[in-house]
Amino acid sequence: MSGEFRFRTAVKVRYNEVDMQGHVNFANYYFYFDIGLTEYLSAIGYDYSRMLADGQDMLYVESHCSHKSPARWPERLWIHTRVAEMRKRGLRFEFEARAEQDDRLVATGHIVAVTAHREGLTPCPIPDGLREAVLAYEGEKDFSKG
């Protein structure tokens, strides 16, 4: 599945992220996905500081993670990231976490984010700059079906 992802960023599992069973605690994958999303936005040329400067913000309204195999300290993981859906006010980011050493699938997941006015956090259309950056990076595809 990672062949469908154009972007990836590395994270190193830190000792404090593993539990008594010796593998990454489930909650940390959401931090890894957030790193992937933030780095993705930077890579496509519409980072979070630009969004804020444009008077916009992004609110996470849904998240999901499916665990496939354990990751352990001090492994490095590749966090593959893409935009799978882009609607009027929201985006669905999808993720794969893969072990750098053997490419095994560690976790998959998604985050749905809604764009909002920075003042008052009321929903608003996706900023043109963000929409254009996603289209330029991902190419023309049907974002309405994921």
Once rounded to an integer, what is the mean pLDDT over residues 118-143?
A: 93
Is the full-model pTM beyond 0.85? yes
8-state DSSP, 122: -
Rounded Cα distance between 60 and 63, Å, is: 8
The CATH superfamily holding the domain 2-138 is: Hotdog Thioesterase (3.10.129.10)
pLDDT for position 146: 46
Domain boundaries of the chain, sorted by first residue: 2-138
Once rounded to an integer, what is the mean pLDDT over residues 127-136?
A: 96
Rounded Cα distance between 143 and 67, Å, is: 25
Residue 68 structure tokens = 């496939």
